[in-house]
């Protein structure tokens, strides 16, 4: 079942909007240079408000062991989203240490970047394909920047694959139809300004993503038939003289 994740929540009302809209996963950002940064205390309070209605992801960028320990101890998250330059070995070590699923973010700008994903196959529990940040960016993600989705279309790639980067209520349907991901993740596209989420845009995003996922999953059986070698139909027995 594909999922919708709303990332960078930092207030009770926007968290409620994500939960009421039916997002399956929400994310808290632990990167100090982000306008969505939350303290441990705030995230823990918001986490209590979630009350099991969605999975909780914590987003870190090249965090050290001490920081990760503190985050995991305070929040008991469901998923670790690693959005830095963590190597496959580091991802494996973090996963083993915390016993939690890891979603590894990787930047995509060209077909060659898909090869980098291969190194994480069997190491990360999911790959999150994001746009590469602009050269002068202060953060590696959350820049509202999309990449060419056709790079991922119809190609062999690790699964589950989560799509992010510059998604918004208007383009998420097309993105899902092109990439056919296992989930989508958004931050900037449901905001009025960096760090300020808009509940109406959250509702619109989740609805648009759901509609597109329903559409592609309805289409699946037909696609499967088209490539299938069918057994010859049994001959119709002749009747009558």
Q: Which of 108, 102, 78 is nearest to 88 (CA)?
A: 102
Separation of alpha carbons 96 and 99, rounded Å: 5
Task: List b or e across 117-140, with b for residues whose CB sees 16 or more CB atoms inside 10 angstroms.
Answer: bebbeebbbbbbbbbbbeeeeebb
Pick 54 or 59: Cβ nearer ligand LGQLAAA5: 59
Separation of alpha carbons 36 and 195, rounded Å: 5
Pick 37 or 235: Cβ nearer ligand LGQLAAA5: 37
Pick 77 or 142: Cβ nearer ligand LGQLAAA5: 142
Pick 64 or 237: Cβ nearer ligand LGQLAAA5: 64
Q: Which residues bind ligand LGQLAAA5 (CB under 6 A)?
A: 7-8, 27, 29, 31, 34, 36, 59, 61, 83, 128, 130, 139-145, 164-167, 185-189
Q: Minimal CB distance to ligand LGQLAAA5: which residue?
A: 142
Catalytic one of 7, 16, 148, 200: 7
Q: Please, what sign has the CA dihedral across residues 172, 83, 181, 112?
A: positive
- Residue 162 Cβ, how far from ligand LGQLAAA5 at the closest point, in Å? 8
- Residue 232 Cβ, how far from ligand LGQLAAA5 at the closest point, in Å? 49
**Residue 168: active-site member:** no
Query: Nearest 5°: CA angle at 122, between 23 and 77?
Result: 35
- Residue 226 Cβ, how far from ligand LGQLAAA5 at the closest point, in Å? 33
* Three-class SS state of 58: strand
Separation of alpha carbons 183 and 159, rounded Å: 10
Pick 19 or 183: Cβ nearer ligand LGQLAAA5: 183
**Residue 136: active-site member:** no
169: buried, middle or exposed (CB in 10 Å: 19+, 13-18, 0-12)?
A: buried
Catalytic one of 20, 78, 130, 170: 130
* Three-class SS state of 17: helix
- Residue 161 Cβ, how far from ligand LGQLAAA5 at the closest point, in Å? 13
CB 5 within 8 A of CB 209: no
Q: How far is CA 2 from the centre of its chain?
A: 10
By annotation, the residues acting in catalysis are 7, 130
């Amino acid at each position: 079942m594909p999922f919708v994740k709303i990332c960078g929540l930092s207030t009770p009302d926007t968290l409620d909007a994500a939960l009421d809209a039916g997002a399956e996963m929400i994310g808290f950002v632990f990167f100090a240079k982000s306008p969505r940064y939350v303290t441990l205390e705030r995230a823990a309070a918001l986490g209590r408000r979630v009350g099991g209605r969605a999975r909780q992801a914590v987003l870190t960028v090249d965090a050290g062991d001490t920081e990760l320990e503190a985050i995991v101890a305070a929040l008991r998250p469901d998923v670790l989203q690693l959005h830095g330059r963590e190597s496959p070995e580091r991802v494996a070590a973090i996963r083993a240490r915390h016993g939690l699923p890891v979603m590894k973010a990787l930047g995509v700008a060209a077909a060659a970047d898909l090869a980098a994903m291969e190194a994480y196959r069997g190491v990360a529990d999911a790959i999150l394909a994001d746009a590469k940040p602009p050269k002068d960016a202060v953060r590696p993600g959350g820049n509202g920047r999309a990449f060419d989705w056709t790079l991922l279309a119809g190609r062999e790639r690790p699964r589950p694959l989560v799509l992010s980067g510059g998604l918004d209520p208007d383009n998420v349907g097309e993105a899902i139809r092109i990439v056919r991901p296992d989930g989508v993740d958004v931050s900037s596209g449901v905001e009025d300004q960096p760090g300020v989420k808009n509940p109406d845009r959250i509702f619109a995003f989740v609805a648009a993503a759901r509609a597109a996922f329903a559409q592609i999953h309805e289409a699946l059986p037909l696609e499967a038939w088209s490539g299938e070698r069918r057994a010859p139909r049994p001959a119709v027995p002749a009747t009558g003289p």
